[in-house]
Amino acid sequence: MLLWVDWCCGAREASSAAEFSRHCQVRPTDQQHLWAALSLATSADGVCFDFEHPDMSCLKFMTDTKAKFPSVPIIMLMSQQSADVVLWALRTRIFDVLLKPLSSRDVLRCVQRLSPVLEARRTQSTRSNATGAEAIPDEARYHARRYSRGKLDGVLGYIEKNYAQPISEQEVAKEYGLSPFEFSRAFRAAHGITFRDYLSECRLVQSKRLLGIARVSVSDVAAMAGFNDPSYFARLFRKRTGSSPSAYRASILSKVPGGSALLETDTEATG
């Protein structure tokens, strides 16, 4: 079950819920009743917040929800791409951020990624947060230090375009006319996360997508996502997701018609 919190107040957004209802049971609720519903152990597997353009009060409520129910996966929908919001979502451990209008493929991929997480959650005797309680972020940091943000205009696009290539902080700092120290301090001040952590998270997001392709080996997934060392990739992936890349792939493909057969064929072919 997916609890659906509609912040759009418009019938036009019903199509988003309809896309998810093809794969799971969608139960509409509102901000006032969400926590009461989540307090019931079997009330929902996850929560979807459907926004048009989320403001700071929306982000704070999501942060409070995640802090109070750390093991509940949260999906966030919005109508406009925002690097700031995506960064905030990474720091707050929001499960997924999708841009509207939704495509059937995006929704299916989200549900496939969600399935192994829910299976793991159901085996836990108590709800816990492996990374510890996430502090409520200071939203002002996304608007503070205009000097820092101005200097770094376009850096996130640069990372998204070049994540598969070797990228060093020194190289990017030089690209933007800053010393490594100035760049490191400015990036963290502007975005609330280190350059290295953001780059790793960006690569992990891409690796999860690639793991859904059965015939691409795990080592090739690592390389295509920008990880030169497959062992490091496997360790980091397990640390961030709680499972190995192979186990994550198996969980995804087991939910797809014919996926298990593709996985077995690939295993036989690669020995």
Q: Are residues 85 and 187 in the same domain?
A: no
| The residue to which tokens 């107040």 are assigned | 9
- What pLDDT is attached to residue 126? 46
Separation in Å, CA 221 to CA 34, 83, 159, 225, 249: 38, 25, 18, 6, 11
CATH number reported for the structural domain that contains residue 231 in this entry: 1.10.10.60
Q: Are residues 60 and 102 in the same domain?
A: yes
Range of the domain at 262: 204-270
Q: Are residues 164 and 108 in the same domain?
A: no
- How many structural domains are present in the chain? 3
Q: Are residues 23 and 117 in the same domain?
A: yes
The 8-class DSSP code of residue 263 comes to H
Encode pLDDT of 145-156 as tens digits. Answer: 444 445 676 788
Q: Are residues 153 and 224 in the same domain?
A: no
**What single string gives the DSSP state of each residue in 208-225?**
HHHTTSTTS-HHHHHHHT
Examine residue 177 and state whether it is found in any structural domain, yes or no: yes
Q: Rounded distance, CA 267 to CA 264, Å?
A: 5
Q: Quick check: pTM over 0.75? A: no
Encode pLDDT of 90-148 as tens digits. Answer: 778 888 888 888 888 888 888 888 888 777 766 654 444 444 434 333 433 333 344 44
Encode pLDDT of 108-117 as tens digits. Answer: 888 888 888 7
Q: Are residues 96 and 152 in the same domain?
A: no
| The residue to which tokens 């048009």 are assigned | 52
Examine residue 199 and state whether it is found in any structural domain, yes or no: no
Which residues have CB under 8 Å from 103's CB, separation 6+? none
Q: 182 by DSSP, 3-state: which?
A: helix
